[in-house]
Amino acid sequence: MTQMETFTTASLGDLTARLKQAVATMARQDAELLEAEASERSVTSRLSWHLQPLFPDWNLDCEFNCWTGPWQRKGHMIVSTTSAATEARTIFPDLMIHRRRQGDRLAVIEVTLSSQRQTRHQVIKKLRHCQARLACSHALLLEVGVGDQCGDYEIHTLESERERLLKTNVLGEKRSIITRPIQ
C-alpha cells in the first residue's frame, strides 16, 4: 500500500503525477473521442476510468452530487437543469477522489475542453466552491485538448490561479509567495 492510499492527504506532486499518467493513457487509448470533440461528460467519464486503477483504495465519482448533510444540500443549485443538458447549471465537481461515507476527500477535479467557451474565471469559481463545500485537500483544474489539440493538456492547482498568496510565518509576519501553474 502506498502513502497515497494509507493517509487521507497526499502530496500534490503525487496526485498530479497520477493525473498526468491517466491523461496520457486516455490520449493514447481514447484518441478518437478527443479528436471527435466529445462532450466534457464523455471525456471526464473516460478519464475516471483511467484514473481509478491509480487510486485503488479510493472512490472516484463523476458529477458527485451526494452531499452528506442538509447544510450541503442547500445552496449548491444555481438554476435548474436536466440530465440532457450539455451545459450544466448546477455546481457538482466533475471528478472527486474520496472515500464514500468516511469523510476522506482527497481531491476535486474540474475538467474543461479546449473547445469550450467557458472562462477560466467561471471554472475557478466553481472549483473554489466545491473545494470549500466538500472540504477536499486538493483542487485541480485539468484543461484537455480536443480536436486539433488532441493530446495537449494543462494541469493547474487552485492555488496556481492566485498571483500572490499571503502566508503567515511563526512570528506572525506576512510575506508574499508567488505561485505558478504546474508544468
Domains of the chain in sequence order: 3-177 (3.90.1570)
Residue 160: is its pLDDT beyond 80? no
- 3-class DSSP state of 97: strand
CA atoms within 13 A on the CB side of 59: 13
CA distance 148 to 86: 21
Which residues lie closer than 8 Å to 75 by C-beta, 6 or more apart? Answer: none
Residue 70: is its pLDDT beyond 60? no
Which residues lie closer than 8 Å to 132 by C-beta, 6 or more apart? Answer: none
What is the pTM for the complete model shown?
A: 0.73
CA distance 163 to 121: 14
CA atoms within 13 A on the CB side of 72: 14
pLDDT > 90: what percent of the chain? Answer: 45
pLDDT tens digits for range 11-62: 888 999 999 999 999 999 999 999 999 999 999 999 999 999 999 999 999 9
Quickly state the pLDDT bin for 85 (edges 50, 70, 90): low
Residue with cell 500534490: 12
Q: How many CB atoms lie within 10 A of CB 129?
A: 17
The per-residue pLDDT for 174 is: 41
DSSP code per residue over 132-175:
HHHT-SEEEEEEE--GGGTT-EEEEEGGGG-S-EEEE-TT--EE
CA distance 26 to 49: 9
Task: Compute the residue count for the chain.
Answer: 183
The per-residue pLDDT for 44 is: 97
Which is nearest to 112 in space by CA: 81, 156, 66? 156
Chain centroid offset of residue 58 CA: 15
